[in-house]
Copies of this chain bind each other. A is one copy, B any other.
Amino acid sequence: MAWPKPSRGDSPLAKHKGRSPGEVRRRICYHPIRSRGSVQVPLPPHLSQSEFEQACKELRGALGDDHVRTAEDQLEAYYDPYSPGLKERYAPSAAVLPANVEEIKAVLAIARAARLPLWTVSTGHNYAYGGAAPCLKGSVILDLSRMQSIEVDPDLAYAMVEPGVTYLQLYTFIREKKHRLMIDCPDPGWGSVLGNTLERGVGYTPHGDHAAQQCGMEVVLATGEVVRTGMGAMTGNPAWPLYKGGFGPSLDGLFLQSNFGVVTKIGVWLMPEPEAISVVEASFGREEDVVPLIDILRGLRLDGTVPTATIANWMRLAAGNTTRGEWYDGKGAMPESAIAKLMREIGIGFWNLRFGLYGAPRIVEENFKTVQKALSQIPKANISRAKYRRGQDMPPYHRTLAGIPSVDLMPLNWLGGAGAHIECPPVVPMRGAELLELYRRRTGLFNAHGFDHYCGLTTTSPRAFINTASIIFDSQDAEQAERARDLGRALIEDASTSRLGGYRGHICEMDLVAAQFDFNDHAAMRTFERLKDALDPDGILSPGKQGIWPKALRNAKRDQGDGK
């Protein structure tokens, strides 16, 4: 079989029966890597110890003692779990956990007065990109995980969620209410729906482009003003989560991958549960098969036959099913013969395509025939499918295609040790020949750094791929971690020479990626900065996020070339 099949066969919630959603989350959202005791909790920049203590006292007054954390052991959850070597450099000074909009406003008022930098996280499970750690050392983490309200309209098929709501919680809520709705979730599903959407995260169903399914937003600006976007700008307007436009400009986009405000609520469109789902898997034996594969898939995506689809190279599937040592014990690139043996024995292709088909059974049937005919043009294509009806149980390895969140970590044991991964994914056009060229160049870079090329191509947009490239390493092996970071930077620099830009970036590479967006002498960044100064004049929100720094830190950061 082609795709990784996690070992736990039960419903993701079965073993948590009777526990509260918060408890379930606490149990499954473990931080996999912790190296205790080595970091001095820093002060926020430009604040003396007594100024900081005064600010914390005020924060405790506003939120209660339990919701202001300053002790080292309380801050553990806010370090980057996959980059222990960067712990010191990106250490927060404190974390505050407001329960609602009023408390956020109180925190903002204290932060403005004290010039306290805040780093906003929803639940902070953005592991491959830095977890909950801030760009600016000494920032106070504004942790919104206590805000967990969910409203669902079963007729109009949408949810309104606060930042602390995880995919698992939303899924559970809908199941418990017996609404016939399907969510889309990333893999794994413990992260925040709101947080993932704001970062432009993706999933596996027709609603895989999370930002595209967002409708309606509530934001607290740094000034403390609460703004609702679109139709929500009119008090009580029922079309807020139904229609994306408003009267005048659309503000929602400003708060994606952004530090312009604190988003406290979003509307998310949901799908009616389809009558039938077919999970289609197809594998292709040769590296060069990716050329016709992509050109065929583009046609199927554009005409609507295939929704969101993912292509994985051999390594992406191997990393989920086996470890490198079982196939090769040398250093450097795995030889072709070992790769061929691995593919043959695990039963995977060099390229492996997977997607769902959704709808009435006859529609699914017709679409599958179209897919089968199209993909069979590629020699030795191996096409299979699994058919499910509404309400039918699915094996765990197909559940994300039905919007059922997994609670398993991404398999990271390829090199053994405390497996971690970092991501440096560019956005690439859906053209086969160009993709093969890029793939080969990136394979060269992976190999030159002593890693195997892990390649995922996710098409949530029908014209482009997000080219995920997970660099899997043992995070407790300092040399390996450093080498992984070097490869990450090399991949980012190589993408830029092909004029390809990053879909997201790790906190330590945000400046690097942002600097590559160079049209008209970085006009977009100048515009971001102008907007930052207008919306957050005190520069307190998430300094450095996506390379956007507040005025006071902008030039200093540029001069020292920090993070580049």
A345 contacts the other chain (CB 8 A): no
Given A272-B303, A427-B239, A247 and B547 contact (CB-CB distance below 8 Å): yes
Given A256-B250, A524-B251, A231 and B359 contact (CB-CB distance below 8 Å): no
Q: From A463, which residue of chain B is reached at the shortest CB distance?
A: B242
Q: From A273, which residue of chain B is reached at the shortest CB distance?
A: B303
Copies of this chain, count: 2
Whether A247 pairs with B257 at a CB distance below 8 angstroms is: yes
Whether B155 pairs with A228 at a CB distance below 8 angstroms is: no
Q: From A295, which residue of chain B is reached at the shortest CB distance?
A: B155
Residues of B within 8 Å of A303, CB to CB, are 271-272, 274, 359
The minimal Cβ–Cβ distance linking A211 to chain B, given in whole angstroms, is 7
**Chain B interface: which of A138-146, A330-338, A512-520?**
A512-520
A248 contacts the other chain (CB 8 A): yes
- A431 to B256, alpha carbons, bound, how many Å? 31
A530 contacts the other chain (CB 8 A): yes
Q: Which residue from B206, B228, B496, B503 sits with its C-beta under 8 Å from A519?
A: B228
Q: Which residue from B236, B299, B367 sits with its C-beta under 8 Å from A272?
A: B299
The minimal Cβ–Cβ distance linking A106 to chain B, given in whole angstroms, is 17
Q: Which residue from B243, B248, B299, B463 sits with its C-beta under 8 Å from A257?
A: B248
**Chain B interface: which of A59-67, A470-478, A531-539?**
A531-539
Residues of B within 8 Å of A249, CB to CB, are 253-258, 260, 528, 531, 546
Whether B530 pairs with A534 at a CB distance below 8 angstroms is: yes
A233 contacts the other chain (CB 8 A): yes
A396 contacts the other chain (CB 8 A): no
Q: Which residues in chain A, 360-389, are within 8 Å of chain B measured between CB atoms?
A: 360, 362-363, 366-367, 370
A229 contacts the other chain (CB 8 A): yes
Q: Which of A232, A246, A430 has the most CB of B within 10 A?
A: A246
Residues of B within 8 Å of A505, CB to CB, are 247
Residues of B within 8 Å of A360, CB to CB, are 305, 366, 370
Whether B363 pairs with A248 at a CB distance below 8 angstroms is: no
A200 contacts the other chain (CB 8 A): yes
**Chain B interface: which of A82-90, A219-227, A449-457?**
A219-227
Q: From A370, which residue of chain B is reached at the shortest CB distance?
A: B360
The minimal Cβ–Cβ distance linking A236 to chain B, given in whole angstroms, is 4
Residues of B within 8 Å of A156, CB to CB, are 298, 429-431, 463
Whether B256 pairs with A226 at a CB distance below 8 angstroms is: no
Q: Which residues in chain A, 137-186, are within 8 Å of chain B measured between CB atoms?
A: 155-158
Q: Which residue from B227, B302, B363 sits with its C-beta under 8 Å from A271?
A: B302
Residues of B within 8 Å of A225, CB to CB, are 520, 523, 526-527
Given A234-B517, A513-B247, A527-B221, A254 and B253 contact (CB-CB distance below 8 Å): yes
Q: Which residues in chain A, 539-562, are within 8 Å of chain B measured between CB atoms?
A: 546-548
The minimal Cβ–Cβ distance linking A356 to chain B, given in whole angstroms, is 13
Q: From A546, which residue of chain B is reached at the shortest CB distance?
A: B248
A245 contacts the other chain (CB 8 A): yes
Whether A248 pairs with B534 at a CB distance below 8 angstroms is: no
Whether A524 pairs with B227 at a CB distance below 8 angstroms is: yes
Interface of A with B (CB < 8 Å)? 155-158, 200, 206, 211-212, 215, 221, 225-229, 231-239, 241-258, 260, 269, 271-272, 274, 298-299, 302-305, 358-360, 362-363, 366-367, 370, 427-431, 461, 463-464, 496, 499-505, 513-514, 516-520, 523-528, 530-531, 533-535, 546-548
| A–B Cβ pairs within 8 angstroms, 27 of them | A158-B463, A211-B245, A225-B526, A226-B523, A228-B520, A228-B523, A231-B427, A233-B523, A234-B499, A234-B517, A237-B499, A238-B499, A239-B427, A242-B461, A242-B463, A242-B464, A245-B427, A247-B547, A249-B255, A253-B254, A269-B463, A271-B302, A303-B359, A304-B358, A363-B363, A363-B366, A534-B534
Nearest 8 CB-CB pairings of A with B: A250-B253, A233-B524, A534-B534, A242-B463, A248-B546, A233-B517, A243-B464, A242-B464
User: Besides A242-B430, A271-B302, 14 other CB < 8 A contacts?
Assistant: A155-B431, A228-B524, A233-B501, A234-B517, A239-B500, A243-B427, A245-B427, A248-B258, A249-B254, A249-B260, A250-B256, A530-B534, A531-B534, A533-B534
